[in-house]
Amino acid sequence: MTSTATSTLPSIISGPILRHCDCDNFTLWFVSSTPIHELSVTLSQNNQSHTHALNDGELHYVPLGQRAHQYLIQLNKPALLDVESIIEYQVFNQEGKSLFQDIQGLCYPKNKHTNFVVKTEVDHLLHGSCRNAHHSSDDALVAADLKFAKHLTPQERPALLMMSGDQVYVDDISGPMLFAIAQVIQLLGLPSEPLPNASITDSSQLDYSATGLYRRANEVLPNTQHKTKTALWHWYTNKPIFTSLLAENHLVSLSEVIALYLLYWSPELWNQIDIPKQLPDLPPAKQKLWRHQWTQLLKFKAGLPQVRRLLAHIPTYMIFDDHDVTDDWNLTARWEQAAYENPMAKRIIGNALIGYALFQGLGNAPKKFTHSINPLLKQFFDTQSSAHQDELIQALLKFEDWHYSLNTSPKVVVIDSRTRRWRSESNLGKPSGLLDWEGLMDFQAELIDQSKVIIVSPAPMFGVKLIETIQRTATLLGASLLVDAENWMAHPGSANGLLNIFQHRRTPQEFVILSGDVHYSFAYDVHVRGRDSSPNIYQICCSGIKNQFPEKLLPFFNRVNGWLFGYFSPLNWFTKRKKMLIRGRRPDGHRSDRLVNNSGIGVVRLDQKGAPTEISVLHGDGSKTNFEPPRHSYFD
């Protein structure tokens, strides 16, 4: 990463990314270095082209900085796009120039323009979570792009790409990435902001020098004084509210969050900055860490042209998990008290949530934000007022419409398991439920009288029982934050409500649950005990896109979980999910393994009834793992 910074920015500095697209909607996101006026979109399908001059209601514009301008195009018209047809798209400025024509490598071989296919029947999809730029594993989005280029025609591509959480890691930033962020802020003219109740008064005072890197947890992030009366009674006292063990370079300002997103999705800005391979003033231990992280970012940067090409050719949907905002986000009621009662902590969380809204949330279901959030975004970015920033943050923290569904077959239902928590009534330090009662009822209403459904739950609804048991034990010792003790079974109300939904007589016969979060992959077949007409439930977890579980630890969990909580184990009768029969699928037919620890993107194919015909993981290195169903049915 030793390229020389240039003085000329390209016109497009991030994107294009296809977002919500169906028969009636075309949604496209991109960021330009200069403001563009009088945009139009040309959609070509079935040998016909139609040009749409965009009005203010169809073009959402946000001036992120002096040289960063975000556009979200949202065309909504009945029968706008043909189903199962190749649709080419181009965006033109007022001079009639195609905005994306100068982006090298944006189109697949033998294609002149970017294209996609609208599918109302979801028979094939990609899904995954947890993409950490400086992790040593391979980026599975690159592998997916290469498969598109070599093996798949537009009609053969998956119907959609679902990213189920941790698309970015706001709370785990490497030293070289923070160094890059500082340069991008200056390059794009991203504004500074006052920081309330902080050790520094303004974000312009954040230290990006060698002496300031890897020190934010101790010198910038706010602390909490909450105490616990347990065997670990000192652990949570006077520790940073932002409890990640990797929070040395936790992002603070909104401009840092904006720069991070731009660096995660496109290669242009990487070519404008210079990151040294060595930083002489770092301590020796940090020098070694810097070199390792520098090498991993170099690999990450090399794959970004492929990632951009992939995201320009497949409708992409997203939902947050914790690292999109911060580790342990809303995990317990006590954490919420510590975070939201501290003005500095609230600002840090709010800035990450503004970033999520801009770069992820708006593109999922644009109409949800039109009247509630978009006016506040305009007000803040037009004025850059601290008071308007606080008003926007308050509105985002109260917003309860992050979840969404897609009008497809099967219906896709995406859950917000982060902001509608069921707080523990017995102990504020215990994990909150992932959905409160009202959220569970809204979720059930989405499922009633559907024959088949795809559920996107960032955390697995049916996880690895041994790991859940360890989390429960840590919770009893007052250390729920230490082990990220959040799962659907951790809170009695959420657990019972969820399990009752699966047993409801009017909910679907075929459930496919897509999850991530855990940094390993697995697949379960689940049935309700004692019911001949039990729904077929498939828990599919693929994590991470560019992340992995500690290599020496997962084989131990894999083996011991099989011993203690295998299909025939009587210990299953002592768990909250005792009414459910759970069988683990075998990766590549392995006799005893059920967990796979290798970065990858999930591949799911469904039959007409909504049952999986293929559950597999395409790994970052190009290899593939297939999860084979149990040898015997539940009723043999």
* Domain positions in the chain: 1-119+160-400, 403-629
Give the range with max mean pLDDT: 17-31, 232-246, 522-536.
Answer: 17-31
Q: What is the pLDDT of residues 517-550, one digit of tens each?
A: 999 999 999 998 877 788 999 999 999 999 998 8
Residue 386, amino acid = S
Q: What is the pLDDT of residues 339-398, one digit of tens each?
A: 999 999 999 999 999 999 999 999 999 999 999 999 999 999 999 999 999 999 999 999
Residues 618 and 627 sit within 8 Å (Cβ to Cβ): no
Contacts of 455 (CB under 8 A, 6+ apart): 413, 415, 461, 511, 512, 513, 514
Q: What is the pLDDT of residues 191-222, one digit of tens each?
A: 999 999 888 999 999 999 998 888 888 888 88
Among 31, 393, 437, residue whose Cα is nearest residue 193 = 393
Q: How much is the pLDDT for 231?
A: 47
pLDDT at 555 over 60: yes
Q: How much is the pLDDT for 565?
A: 67
pTM, to two decimals: 0.93
Cα gap 397→406, rounded to integer Å: 24
Residues 267 and 307 sit within 8 Å (Cβ to Cβ): no
Taken in order 98, 99, 103, 107, the sign of the CA dihedral is: negative
Q: What is the pLDDT of residues 245-267, one digit of tens each?
A: 666 899 999 999 999 999 999 89
Q: In the predicted model, what is the mean pLDDT of the chain?
A: 89
Q: How much is the pLDDT for 239?
A: 57
Cα gap 197→195, rounded to integer Å: 7
Please, where are the H alpha helices in 477-602?
492-503, 554-565
How much is the average pLDDT of 403-426? 94
pLDDT at 236 over 50: no
Residues 500 and 444 sit within 8 Å (Cβ to Cβ): no
Among 431, 425, 473, 427, residue whose Cα is nearest residue 232 = 473
DSSP state of 511: E
Cα gap 114→309, rounded to integer Å: 9
The two structure tokens encoding residue 205: 């005072």
Q: What is the pLDDT of residues 73-112, one digit of tens each?
A: 999 999 999 999 999 999 999 999 999 999 999 999 989 9
Percent of the chain predicted with pLDDT > 90: 70
Among 571, 570, 614, 572, residue whose Cα is nearest residue 462 = 572
pLDDT at 54 over 70: yes
Cα gap 273→516, rounded to integer Å: 33
pLDDT at 166 over 80: yes
Residues 98 and 69 sit within 8 Å (Cβ to Cβ): no
The Cβ of residue 355 has, within 10 Å, a number of other Cβ atoms equal to 24
Count Cβ neighbours within 10 Å for each residue of 443-465 and write b for 16 or more, e otherwise. Answer: bbebbeebebbbbbbbbbbbbbb
Q: How much is the pLDDT for 100?
A: 96
Q: How much is the pLDDT for 615?
A: 98
